[in-house]
Amino acid sequence: MNPFFAKKSLLMVALTTLFAATSAQADVTIISFGGTNQKAQAKAFYEPFTKASGVKIVASEYNGEQAKIKAMVEAKNVSWDVVELESPELARGCEEGLYEKLDMSKIGPKADFIPSALSECGIGIFVWSTVLAYNADALKGTPTSWADFWDLKKFPGKRGMRKGAKFTLEFALLADGVKPEDVYKTLGTKAGVTRAFKKLDEIKPYIQWWEAGAQPPQLLAAGDVVMSTAYNGRIASAQKEGKKLKIMWANNIYDFDSWGIPVGAPNKADAYKFIAFASKPENQKVFSGEIPYGPTNVKGTAMIDKAVAADLPTAPQNMKGALASNTQFWVEHSEDLEQRFNAWAAK
């Protein structure tokens, strides 16, 4: 072949792949928080769904940032079909018209779900919890309260905490002796916020901040920190890999992660089908078996093995004294408190 044509056809091939890849595909794009959570979702939801329906899934991860979704929706050029969301982002996005108002009739009977797992634009995937996790090898004794997390004498060493105001301030108040039911009331006042930051000042030099959920188990396993706030599921996965990490459930903070459909999603019908599939009790059961987050479908809870059930945030003994994350509070205050947190952390 003439080398000129060879070059030209190569260019053509490249160009076609280039533009074929930009055009929308029929595959359903699902964005979730990555790591072991995503792996569990793949096993419990994505793979069986593709097997059952023949619809392929493009799975990708993000860290909860809403900017991309906002930009896509405003440009009316949405490439994501289903997104895993934390509650405040969901509530805010719903108000701002980023997410479709869901038609429950396409998903399943309302009565099957924990009532608080359902909202206008979202449907709960699972209940997760932020707990105190510790490295049993590095710690002499067992922490039993958030006050112990602050106790540098009894438990010397560094602490891991999520970089951000959300939950950090709650834990500070809990450690300062505020009762779980009063936490958000206290945090709603100026004095309460100051109190929380003052409490955080006590351990500030000892805090190692983390951003992604996969980090705390590593920090703990590597001995970089002796205790850390962590998502209970990530710790359980690390335990499975043989790491000697433990969970303190006292005064954990729990919340839902939900599915949402961005307005203008290219494959809305399949997105609904997927959400309906993932909300079925038998699939939620598989998910909870992979990573110990509690099902939102009440029927799913009933199906779960006893051994697994004890590790779920929804287990009665774990729920005792637990604090439900206050979505409304964080919708309102994330702007000012995150700003103040940044200012505090940077000093």
Q: Does 206 contact other proteins by CB under 8 A?
A: no
Q: Which residues have CB under 8 Å from 86's CB, separation 6+? A: 64, 255, 257, 258
Selected from 28, 44, 72, 278, the binder of other proteins by CB under 8 A is: 72
Q: Does 189 contact other proteins by CB under 8 A?
A: no
> Nearer to other proteins by C-beta: 37 or 314?
37
Minimum separation from the CB atom of position 75 to other proteins (A): 5
Q: Residue 103: name the closest of 281, 278, 269 by CA.
A: 269
Token duo for residue 172:
């500070």
> Nearer to other proteins by C-beta: 76 or 153?
76
Minimum separation from the CB atom of position 7 to other proteins (A): 12
Q: Under a CB-based contact definition with an 8 Å cutoff, are residues 125 and 46 in contact?
A: no
Q: Which residues have CB under 8 Å from 169's CB, separation 6+? A: 187, 193, 196, 197, 200, 337, 341
Binding track, positions 253-272, relative to other proteins; x by CB under 8 A: --------------------
SS3 call for 346 = coil
Q: Does 345 contact other proteins by CB under 8 A?
A: yes
Selected from 6, 10, 14, 104, the binder of other proteins by CB under 8 A is: 14
Q: Does 39 contact other proteins by CB under 8 A?
A: no
3-state helix, strand, coil in the chain (%, to 5): 50, 20, 30
Token duo for residue 101:
């108002």
Q: Under a CB-based contact definition with an 8 Å cutoff, are residues 132 and 143 in contact?
A: yes
> Nearer to other proteins by C-beta: 243 or 285?
243
Distance separating alpha carbons of residues 339 and 115, to the nearest angstrom: 33
Q: Does 222 contact other proteins by CB under 8 A?
A: yes
Distances (CA, A) of 51 to 84, 261, 268: 21, 22, 19
Q: Does 26 contact other proteins by CB under 8 A?
A: no
Q: Does 58 contact other proteins by CB under 8 A?
A: yes
Q: At what angle do helices 190-203 and 168-175 cross, to 10 degrees?
A: 80
> Nearer to other proteins by C-beta: 141 or 188?
188
Selected from 137, 223, 269, 305, the binder of other proteins by CB under 8 A is: 223
Q: Which residues have CB under 8 Å from 96's CB, separation 6+? A: 70
Minimum separation from the CB atom of position 257 to other proteins (A): 18
- Site residues (CB under 8 A) for other proteins, limited to 100-159: none
The contact set with other proteins (CB under 8 A) reads: 14, 17-19, 21-22, 29, 31, 34-35, 58, 60-62, 65-68, 70-72, 74-77, 79-80, 92, 95-98, 163, 194, 197, 208-209, 211-212, 214-215, 218, 222-224, 328, 331-336, 338-340, 342-347
